Structure 1
Amino acid sequence: MSGDSAAVSRLGLCSVTFRHLPAAEVARRAADAGLDVVEWGADVHAPPRERDTVRAVRDVSDRYGLACCSYGSYFRAGAGELAGFPALARAAVLLGAPRVRVWAGGTGSREVTASERQGTVARLREAAGIGADHGLELALEFHAKTLTDTVASTLRLLDEVGAPNLRTYWQPPLDAPDEEALAGLAELGDRVSGVHVFSWWPGNHRLPLADREELWTAVFGHLSEQHPHPDALLEFVPGSDPALLRREADTLRRTVARRSERPARPAGRSH
Structure 2
Amino acid sequence: MSEGGETVSRPGLCSVTFRQLPAAEVARRAADAGLAAVEWGADVHAPARERDTVRAVRDVSDRYGLACCSYGSYFRAGAGELAGFPALARAAVLLGAPRMRVWAGGAGSDEVTASERQGTVLRLREAARIGADHGLELGLEFHAKTLTDTVASTLRLLEEVGAPQLRTYWQPPQDAPDEAALAGLAALGDRVCAVHVFSWWPGNHRLPLAARTDLWTAVFDHLDARHLHPDALLEFVPGNDPALLAREADTLHRTVARRPRRSAKPVGRPH
TM-score range, shorter chain: over 0.9
1:193 is aligned to 2:193: yes
How many equivalent pairs are there? Answer: 259
Cα deviation for residue 225 of structure 1 reads 2.8
1:160 is aligned to 2:155: no
1:240 maps to 240
AA aligned opposite 2:89: A
Q: Report percent identity of matched pairs.
A: 87
Q: Give me the whole-angstrom Cα distance separating, in 2, the residues matched to 1:152 and 1:140.
A: 14
Cα deviation for residue 243 of structure 1 reads 0.4
Q: How does 1:1-271 map to 2 (within 5 A)?
A: 8-258=8-258
Q: Which structure ranks higher in relative contact order (CA pairs < 8 Å, sequence separation ≥ 6)?
A: 1
AA aligned opposite 1:84: G
Q: Which runs of 4+ in 1 moved over 6 A?
A: none
User: Structure 1 residues 187, 200: CA separation in 2 closer, same or farther (over 3 Å shift)?
Assistant: same
SS of the residue corresponding to residue 224 of structure 1 reads: helix
SS of the residue corresponding to residue 132 of structure 2 reads: helix
User: Structure 1 residues 206, 181: CA separation in 2 closer, same or farther (over 3 Å shift)?
Assistant: same
Q: Give me the whole-angstrom Cα distance separating, in 2, the residues matched to 1:152 and 1:184.
A: 9
Kindly report the root-mean-square deviation, in angstroms, between the aligned alpha carbons of the 2 structures: 1.4
TM-score (normalizing by structure 2)? 0.93
AA aligned opposite 1:240: N
Q: Give me the whole-angstrom Cα distance separating, in 2, the residues matched to 1:5 and 1:163.
A: 33
AA aligned opposite 2:104: A
TM-score (normalizing by structure 1)? 0.93
SS of the residue corresponding to residue 35 of structure 1 reads: coil
User: Structure 1 residues 81, 119: CA separation in 2 closer, same or farther (over 3 Å shift)?
Assistant: same
The Cα offsets for residues 67-96 of structure 1, whole Å up to 9 and x where unpaired, read as 000000000000000000000000000000
The Cα offsets for residues 183-226 of structure 1, whole Å up to 9 and x where unpaired, read as 00000000000000001000100000000011000000011133
Q: Give me the whole-angstrom Cα distance separating, in 2, the residues matched to 1:100 and 1:159.
A: 19
Q: Give me the whole-angstrom Cα distance separating, in 1, the residues matched to 2:108 and 2:41.
A: 23
Unaligned runs of 5+ in 1: 260-271
AA aligned opposite 1:175: D
Cα deviation for residue 5 of structure 1 reads 7.7
User: Structure 1 residues 56, 223: CA separation in 2 closer, same or farther (over 3 Å shift)?
Assistant: same
Q: Give me the whole-angstrom Cα distance separating, in 1, the residues matched to 2:31 and 2:57.
A: 14
Cα deviation for residue 51 of structure 1 reads 0.2
AA aligned opposite 1:144: A
Q: Give me the whole-angstrom Cα distance separating, in 1, the residues matched to 2:6 and 2:221.
A: 9
The Cα offsets for residues 9-38 of structure 1, whole Å up to 9 and x where unpaired, read as 311000000000000000000000000000
Q: Give me the whole-angstrom Cα distance separating, in 1, the residues matched to 2:194 and 2:5.
A: 14
Unaligned runs of 5+ in 2: 260-271
Cα deviation for residue 8 of structure 1 reads 3.6
